[in-house]
Amino acid sequence: MWILATTIYLWLSWAMNFLALTYFKTVAEDLNITHAAQKHYISQQALSSHIRNLENELGVRLFDRNPRLSLTDAGRCLYEAVQGFDAINSSLNAQLNNIRKEERGELRLGLSFTRGQFILPLVLPQYALDHPHVHINIFEEHSSNLMERLIRGELDFWITADNPDIEGLSRDPLFEEHFFIVIPEKVLTSTVGDKIAQKILSSGPRDFRIEDVIDCPFVLLNPGNRSRDKFDNALRSRKLTPKILLETDNSQTAFALAQKEMALTIYSDMFLRNYAGELNRNVRIIPLDNCMPADVLHVYYKDENAKIRYKSSFLDNLHDAFAVR
């Protein structure tokens, strides 16, 4: 009996008329054509026609009609199968509704303005095409504010180089951020002389010493910026004090002024790769790994966000674009 029921159910899942099955189930439960027809707001004749068509398709009688309406063995078998189908159908609809809901919503990202200029164009255009019903909201604030927002549940993802250990948050590494010193040859020569300048510029990255250029004028980001703070720490450990000509909040401004041979500056390779202007051949860019170790940027998130389809998709896109391997 069970094998027959399973066979009928599997066949019905693709071959049967769902409406006819609904009518059959009601008649099987009421055992009264008139009452069943009234429940579905159709005529008794129309309902009887659906039942006959169903019997013809299956090649069996589903009901005995004398002396009163009752289920045959085949009818009872079909009724059991339809009940199982209803349960699966309800579960399927619930899952599809969840998927539909997960394709609509808001994606809230937190990161610095300058990092956003590099990271977001590499991730968001395709993501927006794949998820047209997701509203993307970008928060560009100080790292401490973004961390608090994430903890309070106001952000879904926070991209940062601060890398704190925060209970209840997961973090994935994305990429290494290296730092460079940008040296206009004219500025260096005017400060230390041509001979020493050529010696400094001809040395390899491992031999470069920040002490050799500390007397040059600098254009730096304001204190509080991560690259500025790392540079200050490197100088402090060497008991050096820079000659600051100008401070700014915008790393592109600092780099542009160095390109115009106004002063030296510190720059990240992340921004360097995103620089759209033409590089000045008379300006040297030297790695500072020997005194300013690279940062590893991470994405922070709560685990429940990674379980929501459209948010998990964004995390996958980040990993595909940047993940450290």
* CATH number of the domain enclosing 209: 3.40.190.10
Structural domain boundaries enclosing 92: 2-101
* Domain match, 85 and 128 both: no
Question: Which single residue is written with the structure tokens 């921004």?
Answer: 271
Domain end residue (candidates: 45, 69, 101): 101
Domain end residue (candidates: 101, 127, 155): 101
* Domain match, 165 and 299 both: yes
Percent of the chain with pLDDT over 90: 42
Helix residue ranges, H only, the chain: 2-15, 18-30, 33-39, 44-58, 73-102, 113-130, 143-152, 185-192, 194-202, 226-237, 251-259, 269-273, 309-322
* Domain match, 278 and 183 both: yes
Question: In angstroms, rounded to a whole number, what is the distance separating the alpha carbons of residues 82 and 88?
Answer: 10
* Domain match, 183 and 283 both: yes
Question: Which single residue is written with the structure tokens 């164009």?
Answer: 121
In sign, the C-alpha dihedral spanning 270, 272, 273, 276 is: positive
Among the residue ranges 29-33, 155-159, 216-220, 240-244, the one predicted with the least confidence is: 29-33
* Domain match, 159 and 247 both: no
Among the residue ranges 133-137, 185-189, 204-208, 254-258, the one predicted with the least confidence is: 204-208
297, 157 in Cβ contact below 8 A?
no
Burial of 1 (0-12, 13-18, 19+ CB in 10 A): exposed
Domain end residue (candidates: 101, 116, 149): 101
Residue 90 has pLDDT above 80, yes or no: no
Question: For residue 54, what are the contacts with CB-CB under 8 A and spacing of at least 6?
Answer: 16, 17, 20, 21, 23, 24, 62
* Domain match, 86 and 155 both: no
69, 31 in Cβ contact below 8 A?
yes
* Domain match, 81 and 95 both: yes
pLDDT for the residue numbered 156? 95
Burial of 154 (0-12, 13-18, 19+ CB in 10 A): middle
- DSSP line for 254-303: HHHHHHTTS-BEEEEHHHHHT--SPPPTTEEEEE-TTTSPPEEEEEEE-G
Please, what is the average pLDDT of the chain?
A: 86
Q: For residue 174, what is the DSSP state?
A: E
* Domain match, 198 and 279 both: yes
Question: In angstroms, rounded to a whole number, what is the distance separating the alpha carbons of residues 228 and 239?
Answer: 16
Q: Calculate the alpha carbon distances from 132 to 129, 290, 320 in Å.
A: 6, 45, 20
In sign, the C-alpha dihedral spanning 265, 271, 275, 278 is: positive
Among the residue ranges 3-7, 34-38, 299-303, the one predicted with the least confidence is: 3-7
Q: What is the pTM of this model?
A: 0.62
Average pLDDT over residues 53-57: 87
Can you tell me whether residue 221 is helix, strand or coil? strand
In the chain, how many domains are there?
A: 3
* Domain match, 73 and 133 both: no
292 is written with which tokens? 């300013």
